A and B are shown apart, each in its own frame.
Chain A
C-alpha cells in the first residue's frame, strides 16, 4: 500500500495504481471530473498510464453551480 493525499485527506491505495484505477475505486464518473496530481492537470487520456506514487497530492475536481 502507498499513502496519497486525496482532496487534502490521507488515503491508502494499492501500489502501482493508475489514476483511472483510483477513479474506479471511488466509483466516480470519469467524464465529469478533472484530475490533478501535484498541481499538474492530468488529461483524461493520460489517466490510464499515470501511476500514482507515495506522497502524491491528488485533487479530483468537478463543476458545480455558482454565480
Chain B
C-alpha cells in the first residue's frame, strides 16, 4: 500500500485533470486506471465566459490533490493551499512554485519555504521539485509527506531524463518518492517503478491520448508491473552473457 499522510492507497498511479478534450473522459479514465488521487488547479473565474468546475467530473471517493500552479513564490503557494482547503478539497496539497515559463522548472527554495509553513498548518504536503538530494532532505525535515521530483519538463513526454539522480533520491529518502512530470510512455512509468519509485503522477500523456481511459489502463498495468519487478529484486545488467542452460553434459560427438 502507498501511504501518504494518514491515507493509504492501493494504486500507485496518480493522475491529473489538465488538458482533457472532454471532461467526461476524466471519470472513465479513473475507472479504467484505478487511480485514486487526482490533481486539480485553482483559477479566477473568467467572468466573461465562466468555465465548468472540474470537481463536477470527479467521483466523490477520489482523493483530490489541488496544486498551487500559478504560484511564483512560497506566499502565493500558501494562499492557494488555504483557499483549496477552505473550499473543502481536503488536506492534500501539491506545491508547485514556478516562474520559469520556458521549461516550467520548479523553484526548490520557495517550495521548501511553503512546505514548512503548510506542513506545520496540518496539510499533507506533496512538493513538486527539481530532483536534488539536498532539497529532498530539507523537505523531509520540513514535514513533507512525500517528494515529487520531475522526470523531465512538464508535458514534454521525454521520460526519465533525471534517472540517475532519481535513483540517488530513492536510495536515500525516508518518505515516498513520486516521479512527477515528463513521463510520456507506460514503459517509462514502469522504469520509474523498477528503480524503486513509490508512485508516478501522469497527466499529459493520458489526457492528450486519443483514448484517455485506455491510456490510463496501460499506465496502470505498467506501474503495477514495474512495482512487482522492483519487489522481485531483478538482477543487474551485465556486459557478458550468462548462460541460462547448464554448461555441462553437452551431447557432443
State the A residues within 8 Å of B (CB): 6-8, 26-29, 32-34, 36, 39, 41, 43, 59-67
- What are 18 pairs between A and B in contact, CB < 8 Å? A7-B45, A26-B47, A34-B86, A34-B87, A41-B82, A41-B86, A43-B86, A60-B44, A60-B45, A61-B42, A62-B42, A62-B45, A63-B53, A63-B89, A64-B41, A65-B20, A66-B40, A67-B67
- Closest chain-A Cβ to B14's Cβ sits at a distance in Å of 10
CA distance A62 to B53 in the complex (A): 6
| A66-B50 CB under 8 A given contacts A32-B56, A33-B45, A59-B44 | no
Q: Which residue of A lies closest to B66 (CB)?
A: A63
* Known pairs A43-B86, A66-B16; A7 contacts B51 (CB<8 A): no
Chain B: CB-nearest residue to A66 = B41
B154 beta carbon closer than 8 Å to chain A: yes
Contact A67–B23 (Cβ < 8 Å)? no
Q: Which residues of B contact A7 (CB under 8 A)?
A: 44-45, 47
Report A-chain residues with C-beta under 8 Å of the C-beta of B66: 63
Closest Cβ neighbor of B17 among chain A residues: A65
Nearest opposing residue in chain B for A42, CB measure = B86
A interface footprint on B1-45 (CB within 8 Å = 1, 0 otherwise): 000000000000000111110010010000000000001111111
B18 near A66 with CB under 8 A, answer yes
Shortest Cβ gap from B215 to chain A (Å): 14
Across the interface, name the chain B residue whose C-beta is closest to A32. B53
Residues of B within 8 A of A60 (CB): 44-45, 47
Kindly list chain B residues whose C-beta atoms are within 8 Å of the C-beta of A34: 42, 83, 86-87
Q: Are A61 and B16 in contact (CB under 8 A)?
A: no
Across the interface, which residues of B come within 8 angstroms of A26, CB to CB?
Answer: 47
Task: Report chain B residues within 8 Å CB of A63.
Answer: 40-43, 53-55, 66, 87, 89
Q: Give Cα A53 to B40, complex, Å.
A: 32
B-side residues, CB < 8 A to A, are 16-20, 23, 26, 39-45, 47, 50-56, 66-67, 69, 79, 82-83, 86-87, 89, 154-155, 181, 201, 203-204, 207
Known: A34-B87, A41-B82, A66-B40. 15 other contacts (CB 8 A): A6-B47, A7-B47, A8-B44, A34-B83, A59-B44, A60-B45, A61-B44, A61-B83, A62-B43, A62-B53, A63-B55, A65-B26, A65-B41, A67-B69, A67-B203
* Set of chain A residues within 8 Å of B207, measured between Cβ atoms: 65
The minimal Cβ–Cβ distance linking A11 to chain B, given in whole angstroms, is 9
Contact partners of B89 in chain A: CB under 8 A: 63
Question: Of the candidates B20, B51, B69, B154, which one forms a contact with A62 in the assembled complex, judged by CB atoms under 8 Å apart?
Answer: B51
Question: Nearest-CB distance from A60 to chain B (Å)?
Answer: 5
* Min C-beta distance of B134 to chain A, whole Å: 26
> How far, in angstroms, from A64 to B155 measured CA to CA in the complex?
17
Check A28–B45 contact: CB distance below 8 A. Answer: yes
Contact B67 A66 (CB under 8 A): yes
| A41 close to B83 (CB less than 8 A) | yes
